[in-house]
Amino acid sequence: MNKRKWFLHFLWRSLSQRKGRVAVASASVMIAAAIVVSALGISLGIRQKLGGELRSYGANVIITPKEEKYLSDEVFSFLSSDVEVEDFSGQLYARVSVNGADVEMIGLDFKKLQGWRIEGRTPAEGEILIGTNIRDALGLKLNDAVKVTVGDRDILMKVSGFVERGGPEDNAVMLDLAQSQRLTGLVGKLSAVFVRVKSRNIGETVKALRDHMPYVNVKTLRQVAFAEESFLKKIELLMALVTLVVLVASGISVSSTMSATVLERLKEIGLMKAIGGTKNSIRRFYLAEGCIIGIIGGLSGYVLGFLSAQAVSKGAFGSFISIPFYVFFISLGMGVLIAVSSSILPVTDALRYKPSSILRGE
């Protein structure tokens, strides 16, 4: 107990009398820990944010019927149970007449639209969304009433808005999915289901979908899927490279600081050995100093890294991210590891000298 008391006393005196060296070493560890925490926060939290931003690409998997003309909306049950599926929506296609012109009708879920620019508003019950090419051909304006003929039924509907996407939607009219199913008498039927799967596991998920539903075609929209995954991998690779460079630089900085400290205290080490201190006890003393420096650097690095990650997220996406609490322990452990490992070599090298040689200044 007495030995421990004196050990802690001299440890405290050693740290308090070398505040400058301790501050420099702790700052080096702090920078390394902050970069790692920030990179991990971005990797773990911003991947989800990036995924949300990349939804403007649209679905990366499409499911269509293989033999039957329509899909059953029972396909939604399996998609809902797959944790790799981020989102999905069904569409129904049919031919209708609008003011006497034969056009394609698309029934879809407007609540799940991403990246659509609509002049006006999404349609409610009794309203219809018109593609810009149809608008120009028929000379329509917002809130105009149009006659929609489905089979032998004529229905008056109000134009809620216009959409231009440079795709088939420009030559079609769009209704809410449930309303289009009722109008066509195809309740519970779908022409296609558009699915967003986590890019990292898209191959395994597509295989599972094909195995579970052999009666459908499951096609990967490769350009979208590969573009997403390629972009995310590049972001993660960049953060990994930055982290590696900072870790090496901080390790060198801490090692240089500890080496300079040990050189300054060679006589102290020689005196410790001369009065009976063993190599292990002296090594423990200096490694304890390194451990404390690592704890200080790891704690402050976590705070700095956390704030940095939040600043990046706020600047890029306008919202904060959730960083798992275990990153705190990673920061703390990494700080201690850097400081202690940087102290081992200079201390071990100093302990090879004889106390008589050290005290004589040889």
Spell out the SS3 assignment of 11-70: HHHHHHCCHHHHHHHHHHHHHHHHHHHHHHHHHHHHHHHHHHHHHHHCCCEEEEECCCCC
Higher pLDDT, 193 or 221: 193
Range 9-17, long-range pairs (CB < 8 A, 24+ positions): 10/285, 11/285, 11/288, 11/289, 11/292, 14/285, 14/289, 15/289, 15/292
Higher pLDDT, 86 or 264: 86
Q: How far is CA 198 from CA 40, 57, 111, 226, 317, in A?
A: 19, 13, 20, 11, 19
Give the percent of the chain with pLDDT over 70: 72
**Are residues 164 and 130 in contact, defined by beta-carbon separation less than 8 angstroms?**
no
31-67: pLDDT as tens digits = 878 888 887 777 676 555 555 555 555 677 888 888 7
Residues 327 and 208 in one domain: no
Question: Rounded to an integer, what distance in angstroms lies between the CA atom of residue 220 and that of residue 224?
Answer: 9
Mean pLDDT across the chain, nearest whole number?
A: 78
Q: Angle at CA 57, nearest 5°, toward 55 and 60?
A: 85
Q: Taking residues 98-110, what's their average pLDDT?
A: 90
Structurally, the chain folds into a number of domains equal to: 2
CA torsion, ordered 152, 154, 159, 160, to nearest 10 deg: -80
pLDDT of residue 11: 64
**Domain end among 220, 245, 275:** 220
Residues 255 and 349 in one domain: yes
Band of the pLDDT at 313, cuts 50, 70, 90? confident
The SS3 of residue 133 is helix
4-35: pLDDT as tens digits = 665 666 667 666 667 777 787 788 788 878 88
CA torsion, ordered 269, 272, 274, 275, to nearest 10 deg: 170
**Domain end among 200, 220, 240:** 220
**Domain end among 195, 220, 245:** 220
Provide the pairing of β-strand 127-131 with 153-163. Answer: parallel
**Are residues 294 and 340 in contact, defined by beta-carbon separation less than 8 angstroms?**
yes
Residues 136 and 182 in one domain: yes
Residues 236 and 184 in one domain: no
Residues 193 and 280 in one domain: no
**Are residues 63 and 193 in contact, defined by beta-carbon separation less than 8 angstroms?**
yes
Residues 159 and 302 in one domain: no
Q: How far is CA 270 from CA 22, 145, 265, in A?
A: 22, 97, 9
What is the residue type of 49?
K
Residues 248 and 136 in one domain: no
Residues 70 and 45 in one domain: no
Give the percent of the chain with pLDDT over 90: 16
Residues 210 and 237 in one domain: no
Residues 87 and 193 in one domain: yes
Residues 193 and 291 in one domain: no
Residues 10 and 122 in one domain: no
Name the residue range of residue 152's domain.
Answer: 60-220
